[in-house]
Amino acid sequence: MIVIYHNPNSKNSRKCLEILETSKHDHQVIKYQDKPLEEEKLIKIINLLNINPIELIRTKSKFWKDKFQHLLDDGIEFSKDELIKIMIEYPDLIERPIIINGDKAVIGKPAKKIFDILPNKTLT
């Protein structure tokens, strides 16, 4: 089953969900802002995506810039654990949507990236 970590306020997230629904793939929708990710799950997602935690953070968001960017600008570096704790505390900072299909995962930004992990890849 395909899992989508979804934010209804995100255009890319809505588009990915639409692709899943119209392609009729079995999927589960998790609104991660309503049901925040636990540390273990977030680490698993980061590993599936094969990225560093900072790559899963929306560093261009106003909230990130206001709360954290000045620390980076001052030469302070966040550890992986610190970045994971930030995402758990502030789930709005997590890039979205995240789509997982077995041992494959993508950030659906742009939405067409979802086709990289769907079975029977056919563009519509």
Alpha helices by DSSP H, the chain: 11-23, 39-49, 62-64, 70-73, 80-89
Place of tokens 């995240």: 98
Residue ranges of domains in the chain, CATH in brackets: 2-116 (3.40.30.10)
Distances (CA, A) of 74 to 47, 68, 80: 29, 10, 18
pLDDT at position 33, please?
85
- Residue 72: predicted pLDDT: 87
Q: Please state the pTM of the whole predicted model.
A: 0.88
User: pLDDT 10s per residue in the chain (124 long)?
Assistant: 999 999 999 999 999 999 999 988 899 999 988 888 999 999 999 999 999 999 999 999 999 999 999 998 899 999 999 999 999 999 999 999 999 999 999 999 999 999 999 986 445 4
